[in-house]
Amino acid sequence: MIRIAPSILNANFDDLPNEIAKIASAADLLHLDIMDNIFVPNFTFSPERATAIIADSPLPVDVHLMIASADSAVAPYLTSKAFGITVHLEACDDPVSTLRSIRGAGKRSGLAIKPNTPIESIEEILDEIDMLLVMTVEPGFGGQSFMEAMMPKVEKARHWINQRGFHDLWIEVDGGISPDTIAIARKSGADTFVAGSSVYKSSDPAGVVTQLRAIGEAV
């Protein structure tokens, strides 16, 4: 089973209800990128606006926190209606405690790693993670090219997951996912795919989501 999670990073922020409605019938999750202009050089939504988007979403929301001091900054999202919350390893002083707080709030716990972070850095805490997010671009902006060089990370993580029987641990990839790249990531072991530009720069966002699913499921 695969999951497609369109990112609204490239959607029209002034018309989000309609933008989200375009993909609601075709997607599995809504990927919500929260940026603070500190951890990454871009800003998207305040906690107040983000939690309102989460509350109004017709899809389960996959929250991706690209924010500094994630151990404490995660707090407003723990009481939101988010389906899952992903923090960056690089932004946590105590990732295990933060992941446990996410699970304790009834959410799926996600841990993301940037392209320069070795996959080995998360191996010992896999049992605390419900979803591993392998960034296939440098986080901060949409529209970047897919970094195929990240696929060995995905392959290694998939090996560990299978070896240890963590069958409910998802591997998500985010960055440059399109009909041209999803098969590469799927073959490497990813099962959850964030797609932003390829979906929202299309005249038929739902059609692209359907196409991505068909390609991914055919692998």
The answer to whether residues 193 and 182 touch, using CB atoms and an 8 Å cutoff, is: yes
Nearest partner of 139 among 54, 33, 7, judged by Cα: 33
Is 56 catalytic? The answer is no
The count of other CB atoms within 10 Å of the CB of residue 72 is 10
Catalytic residue among 33, 36, 62, 191: 33
- Amino acid found at 184: I
Is 33 catalytic? The answer is yes
| Structure tokens, 80 | 């939101």
- Cα–Cα distances (Å) from 184 to 23, 133, 181, in that order, read 23, 16, 5
Three-state DSSP at 74 gives coil
State how far the Cα of 198 lies from the Cα of 98, in Å rounded to an integer: 32
Active-site annotation, residues: 33, 174
